[in-house]
Amino acid sequence: MIWGGDSLRSLFNKPFPEGKKIGESWEISAVPGKVSVVSNGFLKGNSLTDLIEVYMDDLVGEKIFEKFGTEFPLLIKLIDARDDLSIQVHPGDELALVRHNGRGKTEMWYVLEAAEDAGLISGFNREVSRGIFTEKLESGQLLDILNVEKVSPGDVFFMPAGRVHAICRGVVLAEIQQSSDITYRIYDWDRRDDSGRPRELHTDLAMDAIDYGYHDNYKTKADDKMGSPVIIADCRYFTTHRLGFEGRIKRDYSLLDSFIIYICTKGSFNVNIGSISTGLLRGETLLLPAVTEEVVLSSPGGSELLEVFIKI
């Protein structure tokens, strides 16, 4: 990515050459052409789509399989913004279906690292209309109406489809989203690519996708307690808990009809399911099948994870 850096390699040991700009690590994906592959065990080398075709609701959950079939419904990313991303918006389900025969893109961000004075853009700082938005965009004064937030590690932002947004330089975050790669760029800071060409904008498409509403607060407030899960996002597309713990804890999923995703955000921990054990380091992501009933997590030094699933 033109705005990427090398933090995903230096912080999380992601395998890519030094000096190459990388903006995103797609941790769990079933987006066509970018499908995750099993990394170990007897299923090593099989794709996520292969697994859903074979194991169906045992992997994803009965109601999720009924709704999505062999399409995995979420996309998990780590993002390194060495430079500002474009100001953009994602369409909702109805518009994405009509225009792209795809799904909309509601997402959430969990800040992992933030440089001093790093920030992001989320929504508007006042009541606006489509006319006001167009006027500000055409006059080069779009930033006048956008809400800019300073960020710190641990901050949470929920980004429903339709909300204008941008990740700004100096931010590394985890992104949980619908399985969609549809983005409408509105403004790209007059930036040019390696060939000297301005990057493509999708302003006309964006106008019908934008939610012009104003909100008093765009940052999610959540408790920072240890030892039990804290809800930091809960919508029809996904639920996310933050779980900080030290020592040994159990998670009971016997009544949950969904796969479970762990994203290690601090420290490291072991995951034990019966006789099966694996470790997870900061920046690593693990997918557990829906048939998982009980998990034992252990971390002698203290760790934090994001726990993601779907409630239908």
Question: Which residues are catalytically annotated?
Answer: 185
Phi, psi dihedrals of residue 154, rounded to the nearest 5°: 95, -10
Q: What is the 3-state secondary structure (H, E, C) of the chain?
A: CCCCECHHHHHHCCCCCCCCCECEEEEECEECCEECECCCCCCCCCEHHHHHHHHCHHHHCHHHHHHHCCCCCEEEEEEEECCCCCEEECCCHHHHHHHHCCCCCCEEEEEEEECCCCEEEEEECCCCCHHHHHHHHHCCCHHHHEEEEECCCCCEEEECCCCCEEECCCEEEEEEEECCCCCEEEECCCCECCCCCECCCCHHHHHCCCCCCCCCCCEECCCCCECCCEEEEECCCCEEEEEEEEEEEEEECCCCCCCEEEEEEECEEEEEECCEEEEEECCCEEEECCCCCEEEEEEEEEEEEEEEECCC
Determine the residue type at 97: L
Report the C-alpha gap between 311 and 215 in whole angstroms: 26
Instruction: Say how many C-beta atoms besides its own lie within 10 A of residue 311's C-beta.
Output: 15
Report the C-alpha gap between 226 and 222 in whole angstroms: 12
